[in-house]
Structure 1
Amino acid sequence: MAVASIGGHWIQLLRLRPVFEGQDVVFVSTKASFASMVSNCKFYTIPDGSRKNPINLLLSFKVLFKILRQEKPEAILSTGAAPGLLALLCGKILGKKTIWVDSVANVEKLSMSGILASKFATHVYTQWPDLAQGTIKYAGSVLAKEQKQ
């Protein structure tokens, strides 16, 4: 399962599509029209929540938990933001492998969601070599992936 909110998080998730080749991927985002960008895959829409909208965060958590129980993915990958973090939290509760890829925009430090993900996600990746430390790994950038295509 691949989860991201709108904007740059979704674009970065789409740039990782070559990693998903040969896999049955379910995409989840906060904007229904994004389904057309992954038309050959199953797609779910969830409420978009943030610190400024905690009610939607609770709704997102509830919907994500239901989707995960229905789809039973082997792993959940997210490029952010809050809805992706919630997906990883739901996955952790259900015993799934969880992968966080922090945004390429976070040049000097991990995002707040990335810091939280590093506390419980199976794998956490930064897109900047200088930010890799401890359990936070660097394996390249989605920008580099785009240039190779």
Structure 2
Amino acid sequence: MSQTRVMAVASAGGHWVQLLRLRPAWKGMDVTYVSTDPGLNAMLAEKCGPENGWRFFAVVEANRWTKLRLVRQLFQLLRIVLKTRPDVIVTTGAAPGYFAIRIGKLLGTRTIWVDSIANAEELSLSGEQVGHHADLWLTQWSHLARPDGPDYRGSVI
């Protein structure tokens, strides 16, 4: 039986910090990290150590105001997902997580969206748009859970 391949995707900053807090969930698995800051690769080396066998890919930073960069980011993520063929994609958001979830679902990959803990009053825009496409859609706040998703299963990060 081969090792489970996990792709962990998040924008740099708070989304990335929250994603790394989930690392114990994929201990011992084949992990590919994807983010928008190439410098995070060095931070992973310090935090994860070289013995834990992981890969890192950087994609261009993009948001809803930079449409051409979003298209570029989409194609970068498509290439990475096709290259690594993850069994599961987990993300805490924003744009790269959105694209990873949508691409993953097209390829039959299991997907998990964990909405940012910073979104205490309402769901994130990305979470609202992609949550229904994820196999598991979680919120960090019980009052944001709804019957049609996201689910609240306790504070996970």
Is 1:35 matched up with 2:58? no
Please state whether the residue corresponding to 1:106 is helix, strand or coil. Answer: coil
2:81 matched to which residue of 1?
A: 68
Is 1:141 matched up with 2:155? yes
Overall identity of the aligned pairs, in %: 45
Alpha-carbon distance in 1 for matches of 2:130, 2:136: 9
- Specify the code of the residue in structure 1 equivalent to 2:20: L
Instruction: Give TM-score scaled by structure 1 length.
Output: 0.91
Alpha-carbon distance in 2 for matches of 1:29, 1:142: 21
2:91 matched to which residue of 1?
A: 78
Give the alignment of 1:1-149 within 5 angstroms.
Answer: 1-39=7-45, 40=50, 41-134=54-147, 135-143=149-157
User: What's the CA shift for 1:14?
Assistant: 0.6
Alpha-carbon distance in 2 for matches of 1:57, 1:90: 14
Contact 1:104 1:142 in 2 (8 A): no
Structure 1 stretches of 4+ with a deviation exceeding 6 A read: none
- The unaligned stretches of length 5 or more in structure 1 are 144-149
Instruction: Give TM-score scaled by structure 2 length.
Output: 0.87
2:3 matched to which residue of 1?
A: none
What CA RMSD, in Å, does the superposition of the two structures yield over aligned residues? 1.2
Aligned residues: 143
Alpha-carbon distance in 2 for matches of 1:119, 1:126: 13
Deviations 1:67-88 (A, max 9, x none): 1111000011110111111111
